[in-house]
Chains A and B, each alone.
Chain A
């Protein structure tokens, strides 16, 4: 009986509903900020509980697993929930100053919180159909956030994004239907037991590939064609939230299904995943290097990171998984940071074409150096957060003999560094062409960015201290029995 693990889902959900009744926008801002601060606190406490008591489970409504819906908080999910809460808090604060009255009036903060609730729900659920429901809560909020404001580009991109996601959601339901037809259960722990019992034959492997396609679409793993357009349409605070959270939920689902349920035939599934990851990294990097548009460069960097994280999973050793996890958490933070900074650059320069931006560092030195830190961290330069993840992933890959893909990972890191340095060198360095008066106004930008930058440095320097938690998370991923025991025999 751990009702506390419903709180990271309930607090944003209830607050979001509450906000609809308040017309006063300052009040809405205050309440939503407080809600996310409390969520952060609760998530940190949940991590503490898990590190002392092991995996927490809750059978909703008292219906025992595998019949009822179970919420499961293991270390992996809890770390992601904590990161989600912190990142969304920063994005929220950034949104206060930049999102504009027009969106705030149409329940922007409510949908913002619904999205956070959906993301947290996806992380904590222990039931594969409930995962679908939480996905939908998150996606519906994201459609609204994407289209809110009603600019031409937003409407156009929302249609494509919506269409892609409706189709992938329906394939998700279809895959669940097949899985239910074969195993007769939906509880993920029970599925793991059943699949191990009857053996993962060709049929189940095919179903697992269907799941890979679905989650690959959501996570932008190789099937990323929809992402660059739709992520560059919304305002920066929303884009940051999308870049930091939405694709990550897809990655989380891949992690969960392929470490807990379909781990019996890695020579098929994990090999396929590895090559998808390699292609994702290569194609994403090409996009990031080729574009001279601030938004597009950052957007393509989201795709590269997805490839690297999934590569760590596909190697499937404890070293590479720890690396993946570090990079996962790091990437949520750093992508939010990059989107927010790029948003600030675009607001100040009033354009997103890199050729027309120059010398911003003269009037905005602090912003410039923050961007520099973010760029170094993204590329994995020590002592920042990205370094540890990349080291472990590469080490795991090399130990496993996947020299080519590990090499691709390292090579793309270099190009990633080039792509973001391109923004720094062209946008911040050089001759200052805008006077103070010509610049767009930004406010409330530096504080959230500084917090996120501090987090990524902390993740790097405090690796010694956080390692325990990540190790516990990976232990849980490598041994599905912990999860099964916690859910079915509590």
Chain B
């Protein structure tokens, strides 16, 4: 059954970008301020779920052709591997370090290895939450 609601669809097309932007903001704010990979990931998931709700599952799967299980696993892999990186530098497991880099456009920016860890968390959250939600919603 094709369910369509013009108002919802129109609103979603705009709202999704606001939510995605907010998610990105939260993700990068997380290093020194409230926010971070987990919250960013959840907000991102909210956007994706909104997309799934407005347009049906089949369409959504065509637009976002990814396996969320693998995304989740990949995120977890990144998160753990950043910890393992400390083996190479002979410092305790999970040690983080940071440096200041002059990037074009951004000026002086702090780059921290914990950001990589956060990327892992971000992906892991999206992957696992989407897997759970889809597995409930798929068989009705």
Contact = CB atoms under 8 A, between A and B. Distances in A.
B80 A20 contact: no
A422 B9 CA distance: 69
Nearest to A107: B69
A6 interface: yes
B18 to A, nearest CB: 33
A71 B93 CA distance: 10
A118 to B, nearest CB: 14
Contacts of B95: 61-62
Contact of A17 (B77, B83, B91, B96): B77
B70 A20 contact: yes
Given A10-B84, A14-B84, A20-B69, A60 B77 contact: no
A70 to B, nearest CB: 10
Q: Report whether over half of chain B's contact residues are helix, strand or loop; otherwise say mixed.
A: helix
B73 interface: yes
A314 B18 CA distance: 61
Contact of B96 (A13, A59, A61): A61
A3 interface: yes
Given A3-B86, A3-B87, A17 B94 contact: no
Contacts of A116: none
B126 interface: no
A17 B93 contact: no
B77 to A, nearest CB: 5
A71 B81 CA distance: 18
B84 A17 contact: no
Contacts of A10: 80, 83-84, 93
Contact of B92 (A3, A14, A20, A21): A3
B76 interface: yes
Pick the most buried of A20, A21, A71: most chain B CB atoms within 10 A of its CB: A20
B138 interface: no
Interface in A318-374: none
Interface residues of B, number: 19
Contact of A6 (B69, B73, B93): B93
A59 B90 CA distance: 13
Interface residues of A, number: 16
A62 B69 CA distance: 33
B93 A58 contact: yes
Contacts of B69: 20
Q: Report whether over half of chain A's contact residues are helix, strand or loop; otherwise say mixed.
A: helix
Contacts of B73: 17, 20-21
A14 B70 contact: no
Given A14-B80, A14-B84, A1 B90 contact: yes
Contacts of A6: 93
A61 B93 contact: yes
A13 B81 CA distance: 11
Nearest to B114: A61
A285 B96 CA distance: 52
A18 interface: yes
Contacts of A20: 69-70, 73
A18 B94 CA distance: 19
Nearest to B76: A17
Contacts of B92: 1, 3, 58-62
Pick the most buried of B70, B74, B77: most chain A CB atoms within 10 A of its CB: B77
A59 to B, nearest CB: 6
Given A3-B86, A20-B69, A20-B70, A14 B94 contact: no
B77 A14 contact: yes
B70 A21 contact: yes
Interface in B87-127: 87, 90-96
A96 to B, nearest CB: 22
A112 to B, nearest CB: 15
A3 B86 CA distance: 9
Contact of A60 (B70, B84, B87, B94): B94
Contacts of A58: 92-93
Contacts of B74: 21
Given A10-B84, A20-B69, A20-B70, A3 B77 contact: no
B77 A61 contact: no
A71 B92 CA distance: 11
Given A3-B86, A3-B87, A10-B84, A18 B77 contact: yes
A16 to B, nearest CB: 9
A62 B114 CA distance: 14
B3 to A, nearest CB: 30
Contacts of A17: 73, 76-77, 80
A269 B6 CA distance: 67
Contacts of B70: 20-21
Interface in B34-92: 69-70, 73-74, 76-77, 80-81, 83-84, 86-87, 90-92
Given A10-B93, A13-B80, A61-B94, 20 more contacts: A1-B90, A1-B91, A1-B92, A3-B90, A3-B92, A6-B93, A10-B80, A14-B80, A14-B81, A14-B84, A17-B77, A20-B69, A21-B73, A21-B74, A58-B92, A58-B93, A61-B95, A62-B91, A62-B92, A71-B93
Interface of A: 1, 3, 6, 10, 13-14, 17-18, 20-21, 58-62, 71
Closest 5 pairs (CB-CB, A-B) = A20-B73, A61-B94, A6-B93, A62-B95, A17-B77
18 contacts: A1-B90, A1-B91, A1-B92, A3-B86, A3-B87, A3-B90, A6-B93, A10-B84, A17-B80, A20-B69, A20-B73, A60-B92, A60-B94, A61-B92, A61-B94, A62-B91, A62-B95, A71-B93
